[in-house]
Amino acid sequence: MGHRLVADIGGTKVAASLMTADGMIMGTIVKPTEKIDSEALFALFISACDELGKQAGLERAHIEGIAVGLPGIVDREKGIAVYQNNLPWHGFPVKERLLELYPAAEIEIDNDVYMAAWGEYRRRSFHHETMVYLTLSTGISCAIVHEGKFIRGVGMAGEIGFSLAGEDMLERHVSGPSMESKGQSAFGNKELTLESIMDLYYKEDARAVAIVDEAVQALAREVHHTLLLLDPHAIVLGGGVFNHHPALVEVVRRELSIYLQHPLFKGKEERIEASRHKGEAGLWGAFHCLAKRESRLEIVSDL
């Protein structure tokens, strides 16, 4: 393949990169997400792609692959954005619309967590290993890769935000918005942000420490269950919260070690790792997704 467009379209930003087949980034554009109108969001994405092409002196016909990561429910086979809670695409035919503009391109659409997971998997040069990628930002979710393939179940595998943590769902204890809301109540300040709460946490403010500790304990228990169930080679902690606050990875690791006192499991907390691609995990996952498709096509042609 020649040039590829890869994109991570989320609730706050649209990030798109133009890359060569050997993984060289020729340009990246980040724009605020359009949250109201479906056509306006598509136009925003295409304008970013066209801008990247213009910068590189390329026409649309020169683009041989496009891969897009999207939040929410995605029909990968048909390339449809089925439902995105924080985007105006509901049943939007992303692949069909892209093929109208890029008829020569191979198109890959997938959930953004799976894209990021694949980026982290390939970053570690994994091929046969089992890896769990856990993302924590506005919500919490994970993706499981086993021997180079995703474990998707019937379609909802990895939606750990719905796991029970006490009498409530995990997401209401651990997500960025839940921590922010608790901080606003504890400090009596409706304008308080998660970043401000984390600043107070690092200064060892008792109220901020209590909020973060509660989230860490709930998350460590969930990771504990994951370790016992899958015994993966690595559990990667990514997403906005961990990427901006890498110290929390070590905090989760220490908390997890408390639950791993049995000799059979002692020390397995070292399998907890920080994201290596950080905020670019989805873009690199999209790149490797196209590379994986190309490899499959080469095998078929050889046969």
Q: Give 6-24 pLDDT, tens digit per residue.
A: 999 988 899 999 999 999 9
Model confidence at 182: pLDDT above 70: yes
Residue pLDDT, tens place only, 106-132: 999 999 999 999 999 999 999 999 999
CA gap 49, 242 in Å, rounded:
29
DSSP for 97-130, written as a single string: HHHHH-TTSEEEEEEHHHHHHHHHHHHTT-SS-E
Instruction: Delineate the domains of the chain, giving CATH numbers in brackets.
Output: 3-116 (3.30.420.40), 125-275 (3.30.420.40)
pLDDT tier at 33, thresholds 50, 70, 90: very high
CA gap 74, 206 in Å, rounded:
42
What value does the mean pLDDT take over residues 33-55?
A: 96
pLDDT tier at 303, thresholds 50, 70, 90: very low
Model confidence at 230: pLDDT above 50: yes
Model confidence at 299: pLDDT above 70: no
Q: What is the mean pLDDT of the chain?
A: 92
Residue 134 and residue 145 in contact, taking contact as beta carbons nearer than 8 Å: no
What value does the mean pLDDT take over residues 218-245?
A: 96
CA-to-CA separations, 174 to 130, 180, 233, in angstroms, rounded: 25, 10, 24
Residue pLDDT, tens place only, 142-152: 999 999 999 99
For residues 152 and 297, the model is more confident at 152
Lowest mean pLDDT among 27-41, 109-123, 158-172, 183-197: 158-172
Q: Which helix (H) or strand (E) holds 72?
A: none
pLDDT tier at 293, thresholds 50, 70, 90: low
